[in-house]
Structure 1
């Protein structure tokens, strides 16, 4: 039983020329895991329908998934992620606003990336390691853990990648708190608030 629910931080990223990103917010649950052993992370998150896809360290190549959302439970260390841009994207949009954001996470944190969000771990410390988990229904439907996209396709393909990402169902359960948790509520609110994406 949780003594206090951690309300996640929310971050929104607009599409770029080469990356769909998402209408749904990135969610970051700070210091939500007191026991960060792999066994405890799995015992905490897997009962809520998010299933282990792998256990990894720093991965510096920008990439995104269009067929699944992704949850990271951090076992040890600390890392800074660059989110929202691929290698061919400009740094700023035509209004001078940055496309990307940096997110630093550490042992005990959990964060969730909606389908379409480009991500790369650009710098890590203290033997950074995490478990990646994916909604169980998605794994069953696709027969694979995830697809890999690297932000290298021409801009005219970005809209179709966005359509694929938008079509991924919102999970019914929060990875930490289950049916009473914030993820389904926050993501449904975001989905209702944006009836269509801006076209590139």
Structure 2
């Protein structure tokens, strides 16, 4: 059985560029049986430069790298795509893959909320917040971020390869 993925496409809102062609991917409950192993799963699939923490409470994005986020514990409401984007209710075991340029912000979270973040091939990421002076460079950087060689959860298989073409 193929893993389930839900896609969300976001338009450029003039502040948060989002990605022009790639959707955000939500893998609901993909790690619900092993939330404490999320970082190891990402790392074994060559999504590295990982960390465990929370999500900023302001809109931000990374223009030079895709990012995967996996909820290790608790729950949170994350707004993706900018001020007019979707509110995603994430729980332990849920995974989201954010293509470069996709805005995200924590709206609320449980006190035990922890999320794991990682990047394909351990790429280093920047932090953009939607300032007009960063926009021209950010738009150029987004265009040059390659499709990952592996899916962060399923390795050489998985929905990413069907949905990110």
Q: Which residue of 2 aligns with 1:17?
A: 14
Q: Is the 8 A contact 1:83 1:117 kept in 2?
A: yes
In 1, distance between residues paired with 2:132 and 2:144?
20
Shift of 1:165: 0.9
Deviations 1:59-111 (A, max 9, x none): 202111001000011110111111222xxxxx6xxxxxxx3221111101111
Superimposed CA distance per residue, residues 172-194 of structure 1 (whole angstroms, 9 cap, x where no aligned partner): 21111111212022111xxxxxx
Measured in 1, the distance between the counterparts of 2:114 and 2:2 equals 24
Where does residue 31 of structure 1 map in the other structure?
29
Partner residue of 1:196?
Answer: none
Residue 104 (str. 1) matches residue 89 (str. 2): yes
Quote the Cα distance in structure 1 between the aligned partners of 2:136 and 2:87: 24
Q: Would you say how many aligned residue pairs link Structure 1 and Structure 2? A: 163
For the pair shown, the structure with the greater C-alpha radius of gyration is 1
The ranges of structure 1 where at least 4 consecutive aligned residues each deviate by more than 3 angstroms after the TM superposition are: 157-160
Structure 2 unaligned regions, length at least 5 = none
**Which range moves more in the overlay, 119-128 or 7-16?**
119-128
TM-score, normalising length: structure 2: 0.91
Tell me the residue number matched to 1:63.
60
- C-alpha RMSD of the superposition: 1.7
